[in-house]
Structure 1
Amino acid sequence: MTEPDQKPEISLRLLEIFGAMMRCETTVEAAEQLGISQPAVSNGIRQLETQLGVTLFERLHRRLEPTEEALLLFEDVRPVFSMLRNFSARARSIRHGTSGRLRVMSTPPLGNTIGPLALASFLKDRPDVSVAYDVRRLEHVVDAVQSGAADIGLGLALERHPSVNIEVLARTHMVAVVPKTHVMARRREITVGDLSEHGFIGLEAESRMGQMLRDAFVRDEKSYTPRVEVRYCATAAVLAGSGIGVAVVDPYSAAHQLSTSLVQRPFQPPCEVSAVLITRKGVPRSRLLHGFIAELKRTITEFVG
């Protein structure tokens, strides 16, 4: 039961009115600063004085002058006004997508190319945004998004998944990266037949890109016999740059590794590669995430031309 002499808790609104009156010379000015009516300011001050049991203002020469008690109380409550201003500013930043923390996880092809470009542009005018950025295998990316450990994931060749949302950002095709000194560097395009004849760097069947490359050999009824086999497209491109042979990789890995020692050629038959956005099911997107996704889409559109 409430004690008879216990005063009700003072609302933040009454403290705001008190603070405005301490900064302004009249109730009219305080009302304009708070965006409320002049009677609301006067009533708020009277209510606060009643709750405190203290006179806060006295009318002298047609103005309300703060009492000694008001000056003492204002010094104690001044930090609250600073906290409120910071809170309001923080809320506006979050609402406008210019403040907060973003957790991004990607597979290497996009994590080493599109992701950094989009992130650099996104952060340019957002000094209050912090980011956790990681590059992992696709299964780790999917698990992180599904569990909520990552806000967004990026990957290749994943058209659908039962546990997460998949959105296609762009569709491109696998390309051949050829050492400039290689006999096939003079060709306009590289075919499965060319690879069978001259040898190539293959991709493991456990990878999605590797399975796509194998399917291309099956379609052209050629034997899949790589000279060197690796798991990642990025590794295949690095080996091609060392002069080991031709590699067929996704265009993002090709762009990341392309150097003066390599040329890029179209690969036949066409092997479509989808770049996808991975988000958690049943969770609304924040304004911060919406802003980053918009930047990703702009960046990848420029990349694929």
Structure 2
Amino acid sequence: MNLRQLEAFRAVMQGQTVTRAAEMLHISQPAATRLILSLEENIGFALFERSKGRLQPTPEALVLYEEVQRSLLGVERIARTAREIGNLTRGSLQIACVPALGLSFMPRAINAFLQTHEQAQVSLVVQSSREVVDAIVGERCDVGFIAQPNAYASPWGEKLITSYLLCALPASHRLAGKALIVPEDLQGEAFISFPQTVASRQHIDAIFAAHGVERQLNVETQLSMAMCKFVEQGAGVALVDVISAQEYQGQGIAFRRFEPAIEMDFALLLPPQKKISKFHESFVQHIRAFAADETRIHW
């Protein structure tokens, strides 16, 4: 048996005549007849009884049709899947990213991608930059997004978003009326910090030390959104990235420029030894365009 014979058999069962079957398959009537005859020869029993110019399926044909129908539907699903893979509407995507992007920015970017890739299967895991790098190196994810600078080796990547840190103040804070905050303004202030394991923490501490400014370091968190909530509750001030500042929905907080400028960029990473698929490349192109549109707000 071959696939074309089974398609002809199904077409005759559905069309009830060889003529209709031939039209369904876009072949000639003699060609359709030959396919049915060769199928009957291959399986060793008759599928149709010819009576008064019409074909009546035998009981054996009815049983066979159920299996053929299931099998051909499976083949059609495979063909449809192949088409979807070819036109980049189907594929799987494992994404790992830092919390600053994973809480709002990345879900919105993925949702926009799904509007034109409805059959895509996407998994998003929010991790620290170090964990994202480990996942990329271990090929446990397809695309990774980390915060820069980082204090450890990472595979090649590209800068996706150029950002910097803003000073987050309670809306009623004495400094909220200033457009620009400098280290000396924060002398003696309660300060919400990143943990020591975050590379930006060392950079921030070095800047305040260079300016001879002492702060009260009582609270630490690795999440910029959590920092913003602490600030809004009056627990202190903080330096947070522009992306998180744009995403924060609280009303009791003021974001102000901070100098000297501290960069907090975000990079896109791909597995160094793994060839990227066309589907993954389409997502990379999408995220580049999405990031460019989303980060045009300037403070």
TM-score over 0.5 (shorter chain): yes
Match runs of 1:72-221 below 5 Å: 72-124=63-115, 128-157=119-148, 164-196=155-187, 198=189, 200-217=191-208, 221=210
Q: Does 1:48 align with 2:27?
A: no
**Offset at residue 170 of structure 1 (A):** 1.5
Q: Does 1:222 align with 2:206?
A: no
Name the structure 1 match of 2:269.
Answer: 278
Name the structure 2 match of 1:249.
Answer: 240
Range 274-283 or range 263-272, more displaced = 274-283
Question: Structure 2: how far apart are the matches of 1:206 and 1:77?
Answer: 61
**Offset at residue 29 of structure 1 (A):** 4.4
| Amino acid of the structure 2 residue aligned with 1:23 | Q
Check conservation: 1:182, 1:245, Cα contact below 8 A: no
**Offset at residue 150 of structure 1 (A):** 2.2
Check conservation: 2:165, 2:263, Cα contact below 8 A: yes
Question: Structure 1: how far apart are the matches of 2:28 and 2:272?
Answer: 46
- TM-score of the pair, normalised by structure 1: 0.79
- Give the 3 Å change call, closer, same or farther, for CA 161–37 of structure 1 in structure 2: farther
Name the structure 1 match of 2:222.
Answer: 232
Match runs of 1:53-64 below 5 Å: 53-57=44-48
Question: Structure 1: how far apart are the matches of 2:202 and 2:213?
Answer: 11
Question: Structure 1: how far apart are the matches of 2:290 and 2:230?
Answer: 28
- Give the 3 Å change call, closer, same or farther, for CA 144–197 of structure 1 in structure 2: same
- TM-score of the pair, normalised by structure 2: 0.81
**Offset at residue 259 of structure 1 (A):** 1.9
Cα-Cα RMSD? 3.3
Name the structure 2 match of 1:304.
Answer: 295
**Offset at residue 112 of structure 1 (A):** 0.9
Range 271-280 or range 233-242, more displaced = 233-242
| Amino acid of the structure 1 residue aligned with 2:3 | L
1:68-127 Cα deviation digits (max 9, x unpaired): 543443234332223223333333344444445432222110011211212333345666
**Offset at residue 40 of structure 1 (A):** 4.8
- Give the 3 Å change call, closer, same or farther, for CA 170–36 of structure 1 in structure 2: farther
| Amino acid of the structure 2 residue aligned with 1:259 | G
Q: Name structure 1 gaps, 5 residues minimum.
A: 1-9
SS in 1 for 2:141: coil
Range 58-67 or range 171-180, more displaced = 58-67
Question: Structure 2: how far apart are the matches of 1:17 and 1:141?
Answer: 53
Check conservation: 1:202, 1:226, Cα contact below 8 A: no
Question: Structure 2: how far apart are the matches of 1:58 and 1:17?
Answer: 16
1:186-243 Cα deviation digits (max 9, x unpaired): 111112232347564343443122233245446xx31353312524252433322222
SS in 2 for 1:297: helix
| Amino acid of the structure 1 residue aligned with 2:243 | Y
Question: Structure 2: how far apart are the matches of 1:284 and 1:204?
Answer: 35
Name the structure 2 match of 1:11.
Answer: 2
Range 141-150 or range 231-240, more displaced = 231-240
Check conservation: 1:103, 1:132, Cα contact below 8 A: yes
Name the structure 2 match of 1:3.
Answer: none
Check conservation: 2:150, 2:199, Cα contact below 8 A: no
**Offset at residue 185 of structure 1 (A):** 0.8
| Amino acid of the structure 1 residue aligned with 2:228 | A
Check conservation: 1:209, 1:249, Cα contact below 8 A: no
